[in-house]
């Protein structure tokens, strides 16, 4: 058969014009890097939760003594040596802030929001077991387990390190009040993450936004409950000491001396009231019938966070990564 120019126009191009093998190799190479990035993100997520949860456990002091303190010329045997105030910030920088932002960049620029390549993980997380009457999913059970265990670990190690067999009842109640404050902060660390549509943790786990909001509500309940107990225990502590006046602001006192505790407590009150109002307006009845009220009052998270930091300064480093990521996610959603 003789090929005419017309036939030649529709002939299959020579192989050297279609480098399919090279394209496949490039795709495989890219796929390997994406898979590696997914595993790194997963490990980072587990590492961050672990690092925050064990902060008061016996695992951290050796790290502080042998790794962090030498970075700031701190000698535990010499009072006032080096910059000991930087130890906490350094721990959270390497334990949470830096890893979280690395994971964020990997999800945005390498995996590009694609869920983790774990077969059926999203489907399994959303399944509701029949033995629990299909009330909650496996993902929700896992989330509740991690939250409850994390709160128990934080409470136990902070409390047990500050009381002993000789501690009085009043001493134990005072330590419990402080411990509940850190339980509140622990829940606040993760509170903002599932509250936006572009939370990279939720995208990586393929958890829908509606489910993420449910986790946000549960963390909010835990935060407000811990704040209420923190407040109640401290009111009891000041009552026993016959010093309830210290819970009120002092306008005629030196803020750096006798007025310091007054204003620290006042800032705590303001932060608590903001949280409490947000909690009340988040009740299903209010949220569904008066959505605008719910929406507007949720902006109280700004003064709630600001006054919480003024109440206890190191809260800033605990919340830094979550707050920054929330702002970035909101910007991406708008």
- Alpha-carbon radius of gyration of the chain: 26
Mean pLDDT of 82-103: 93
Note the pLDDT of residue 140: 81
Biggest alpha carbon–alpha carbon distance for the chain: 110
More confident residue, 45 or 117: 45
Note the pLDDT of residue 127: 80
CA distance between the termini of the chain: 64
Q: Is the pLDDT of residue 152 over 80?
A: yes
Q: Dihedral sign for Cα 41, 45, 50, 51, please.
A: positive
Which of 213, 153, 218, 140 shows the shortest CA–CA distance to 183?
A: 153
pTM as predicted? 0.85
Q: Confidence class of residue 6 from pLDDT cuts 50, 70 and 90?
A: low
Mean pLDDT of 109-119: 74
Note the pLDDT of residue 200: 76
Burial pattern 83-119, b for ≥16 Cβ within 10 A else e, equals ebeebbbbbbbebbbebbeebbebbeebbeeeebeee
Residues in the chain: 334
Which of 96, 113, 118, 109 shows the shortest CA–CA distance to 44?
A: 96
Q: What domains does the chain contain, in order, with CATH numbers?
A: 23-112 (no CATH), 124-334 (1.20.120)
Q: Is the pLDDT of residue 8 over 60?
A: no
More confident residue, 116 or 79: 79
Mean pLDDT of 314-322: 93
Percent of the chain with pLDDT over 90: 56
Q: Is the pLDDT of residue 2 over 60?
A: no
| Residue 214 near residue 147, CB atoms below 8 Å | no
Task: Give residue for tokens 């790794």.
Answer: 67
Q: Is the pLDDT of residue 332 over 80?
A: no
Helix (H, G, I), strand (E, B) or coil at 18: coil
């Amino acid at each position: 058969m003789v090929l005419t120019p017309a036939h030649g126009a529709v002939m299959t191009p020579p192989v050297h014009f279609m480098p399919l093998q090279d394209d496949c190799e490039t795709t495989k190479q890219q796929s390997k890097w994406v898979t590696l990035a997914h595993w790194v993100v997963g490990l980072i997520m587990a590492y961050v939760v672990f690092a925050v949860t064990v902060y008061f456990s016996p695992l951290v002091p050796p790290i502080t003594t042998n790794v962090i303190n030498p970075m700031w010329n701190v000698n535990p045997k010499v009072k006032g040596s080096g910059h000991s105030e930087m130890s906490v910030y350094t721990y959270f920088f390497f334990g949470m802030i830096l890893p979280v932002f690395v994971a964020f960049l990997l999800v945005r620029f390498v995996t590009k929001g694609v869920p983790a390549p774990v077969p059926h993980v999203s489907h399994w997380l959303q399944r509701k077991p029949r033995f629990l009457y299909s009330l909650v999913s496996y993902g929700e059970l896992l989330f509740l387990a991690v939250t409850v265990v994390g709160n128990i670990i934080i409470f136990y190690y902070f409390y047990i390190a500050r009381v002993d067999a000789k501690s009085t009842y009043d001493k134990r109640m005072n330590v419990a009040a402080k411990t509940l404050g850190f339980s509140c902060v622990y829940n606040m660390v993760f509170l903002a993450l599932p509250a936006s549509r572009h939370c990279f943790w939720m995208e990586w786990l393929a958890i829908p936004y509606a489910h993420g909001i449910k986790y946000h509500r549960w963390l909010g309940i835990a935060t407000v409950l811990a704040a209420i107990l923190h407040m109640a225990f401290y009111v009891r502590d000041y009552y026993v000491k016959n010093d309830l006046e210290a819970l009120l602001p002092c306008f005629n006192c030196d803020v750096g001396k006798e007025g310091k505790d007054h204003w620290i407590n006042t800032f705590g009150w303001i932060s608590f009231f903001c949280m409490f109002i947000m909690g009340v307006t988040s009740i299903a009845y209010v949220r569904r019938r008066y959505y605008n009220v719910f929406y507007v009052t949720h902006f109280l998270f700004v003064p709630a966070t600001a006054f919480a930091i003024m109440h206890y300064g190191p809260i800033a480093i605990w919340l830094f990564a979550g707050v920054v990521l929330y702002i970035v996610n909101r910007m991406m959603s708008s």
